[in-house]
Amino acid sequence: MPHLRTPYYLIDETRLQKNLEIIKLIREESGAKSVLALKCFSTWCVFELMRQYMDGTTSSSLFEARLGREKFGKEVHAYSVAYSAEEIEEVREFADKVIFNSISQLKLFHNRVSHLNVGLRVNPGISYSHFDLADPACRYSRLGVSRESELHEVAHQINGIMLHFNCENDDVANIAAAINQIGAKYAALLEKLEWVSFGGGIYFTKDGYPIEEFCRILKDFAGKYGVQVYLEPGEAAVTCSAELVTTVLDVVHNEVDIAIVDASVEAHMLDHLIYRTNPGISSPGPGVHRILIAGRTCLAGDLFGGYELDAPLKIGDEVRIADAAGYTMVKKNWFNGIAMPSIAVRRLDGTVECVRGFDYKDYLSNLS
């Protein structure tokens, strides 16, 4: 492995392939297609591998739709909470499916995309999420159409619906109940459609997940209503496939030892700060030596967390932050002007390639 200067994200294609094989199995057993959620992971240096197992991409913006077309190919599902008129003119050049978030947007822009496959996001009024911030069916949610009467009025203008109602849902019984409830609630509408997307947030690549039962649920739904089922895995596609590799710059003591590494939660793993969670440590291993691991920005709460490791940390030690693929590289930022991690890939043959580095010129060009 070549020497890489920390910090850097290291994507492991062998680990990534493990998730992709499950996605492939689900399609073979259930008929459900999977499109990569670019909002979670859009690091296109591994798209050559991913496109062998997935059916395309789903986006939340014009730029993501364009990236899906140019770098992934295959199906491009273009969704946005709200399109501008200028964006619709562009996105229709890249998309196979255009999915609107509201009836008003559908009516405003339908004539511009009627030659494409048109979809509408539906809020089924049920959801699974451990975080209110990520609950798409929360009170006053702006995400999707909730009134059934409105859906039937525009059924002739759409080919399918998208229901994104899960966040890290690893409970197959909950999924089964939700899908059955959706089928019963929207049966009359479903019979008029070509496809239904159950969105993302379903943790079917978790170790021990009952894949066979999950496939049966999807297959039964598709057969009963005569629709093509889609899944939109983001985190599930890339879970446990990358690390954030850092180096300890200093160790200070304030009641406990605090190791300051050359990366940042605020700038490089922002979701953990937003949701007040702590990432795992893949190296060093676990032990009895208690230490806090902190980022190097001036934000007091820039903490990866408290850990018990197999040895005390000292200046120059390497620390690998686990599960650093989803919602990291797409959210990294220049807070404090901290050096942005490079992106490296360990390919299937074991070779490691640094595919992108960042320097002061990138920082400068990001500002004005």
Residue pLDDT, tens place only, 240-260 = 999 999 999 999 999 999 999
pLDDT at residue 2, as a whole number: 58
pLDDT at 218 > cutoff 80: yes
pLDDT at residue 206, as a whole number: 95
pLDDT at 130 > cutoff 90: no
What is the C-alpha separation between 241 and 326, in angstroms, rounded?
A: 9
Cross-strand bridge partners of residue 11:
242, 345
pLDDT tens-digit profile of 133-173? 888 888 899 999 999 889 999 999 999 999 999 999 999 99
pLDDT tens-digit profile of 174-211? 999 999 999 999 999 999 999 999 999 999 999 999 99
DSSP state string for 144-194? SB--HHHHHHTGGG-SEEE---BSSB--HHHHHHHHHHHHHHTHHHHTT-S
What is the C-alpha separation between 333 and 329, in angstroms, rounded?
A: 9
pLDDT at residue 3, as a whole number: 78
Query: How confident is the prediction for the chain on average, in pLDDT?
Result: 96
- Mean pLDDT (whole number) for 350-365: 96
Place of tokens 């170790």: 207
pLDDT over 70 percentage in the chain: 99
Nearest one of 366, 62, 50 to 238, comparing CA atoms: 50
pLDDT at 359 > cutoff 90: yes
Rg of the Cα atoms in the chain: 22
CA distances (Å), origin 59, targets 31, 124, 142, 191, 204: 22, 21, 18, 26, 21
Cross-strand bridge partners of residue 12:
346
Contact 279, 322 (CB under 8 A): yes
pLDDT at residue 368, as a whole number: 87
Contact residues for 238 (Cβ-Cβ < 8 A; gap 6+): 16, 19, 40, 41, 325, 326
Helix, strand, coil percentages, rounded to 5, for the chain: 35, 25, 40
DSSP state string for 248-266? EEEEEEESEEEEEESS-HH
pLDDT tens-digit profile of 60-104? 999 999 999 999 999 999 999 999 999 999 999 999 999 999 999
What is the C-alpha separation between 243 and 8, in angstroms, rounded?
A: 8
Q: Give the largest CA-CA distance in the chain.
A: 66
pLDDT confidence bin for 1, thresholds 50/70/90 = low
Which structural domains are found in the chain, ordered by start? 14-238 (3.20.20.10), 241-365 (2.40.37.10)
Structure tokens at 189: 């509408």
